[in-house]
Amino acid sequence: MRLIARAAGIVAAAIAAAFPAAAQVPGLPVYNQGVPRGIGVYGDVGFPNDVAGGGTAYGVTGRVGFGAFGVTAILSSYDPDGPAGSAVSAGATGNLRVFGGPLVPLSVTLQGGVGYAKPDDSLLPTGSGIKEWRFPVGVGFALTIPNPALAIKPWIAPRLDILKTTQPAGSATQTNFALSAGIELNLLNGFGVHAAYDRVFGDGSDPSTFGVGAHFVFRVPGL
C-alpha cells in the first residue's frame, strides 16, 4: 500500500510540474461578469504568478447572450516561463442569470464551464502526452453603475475549480476553491476595457493570474 501511495504521489507531482494549476485556460482569469446583451468579442492578456507557471497568455473570447442565458467560447495561447513550450487551449461556459435585469443594477449569474489544454502538442485530444481538463463551477455577482458616457461594472465570482490531468503514467483529479474578481468600463458605443484577478486556493500553493483586455459588444435586436 505504501508503494502504491508513493507511486501515486510521484505521478501527481510529475503532472503538476509539467502543467501548473491555472484558471479555466492556462494563464487567464475565469470571467463571470454576467450575461452579455448582444454579441461580444473580447481580447485578453494574462500574467500568471510564478506558482501558476509565469510567462504570458493571450486569448480571444466570443460571448453571446440570449436573454437570461449566455454562452462563451475562448481560444488562448500560453507561453510559460522555463523550457516548456507554448500551449494552445480552448474552453467554453454556459451562464444563467438568476437575478437582475435591464432596470436592476445587481445581477447574479450561475456559471459552468470546461477548459482543455494539451501542452507541447496538438490541441486535439488524441495521441500520448499530458492532457488537462478543467471544470469551473460557480456564481458571479456584478453591479452596474451607470454614468452619462461610461458604465462601470465591478464583479466578484467564487467557484469550485475541478482539474483532471492525465498522462501515460496515470491521472490525477483536484478540486479547489477559487475566486476571481474584476471590473469593466463600458462606453455607450459598445467599446470597453476590463481587468480581472484570479486565484486558486490549493494545498500550500496558490496560483494566481492577472488579466487585462479590451472588448466590443454588438447590440443585436432580439438578443
Give the pairing type, strands 69-79 and 56-66. Answer: antiparallel
What is the reported pLDDT for 124?
53
Residue by residue, pLDDT tens for the chain (223 residues) are: 343 334 333 333 333 434 444 567 999 999 999 998 899 999 999 999 999 999 999 999 999 999 999 999 999 999 998 876 678 899 999 999 999 987 899 999 999 999 998 765 555 555 557 888 999 999 999 999 988 889 999 999 999 999 998 887 888 999 999 999 999 999 999 999 999 999 999 877 889 999 999 999 998 876 6
CA-to-CA distance for 154 and 181, rounded, in angstroms?
8
What is the C-alpha to C-alpha distance for residues 27 and 21, in angstroms, rounded to an integer?
A: 9
Neighbours of 3 (CB within 10 A): 7
pLDDT (0 to 100) of residue 11? 35
The predicted pLDDT at position 214 comes to: 98
pTM assigned to the model: 0.84
| pLDDT score of 103 | 85
**Amino acid found at 142:** A
pLDDT at position 170: 81
- Taking the CB of residue 189, how many other CB atoms lie within 10 A of it? 10
Q: List domains and CATH numbers for the chain.
A: 2-81+91-218 (2.40.128)
Report pLDDT for 181: 98
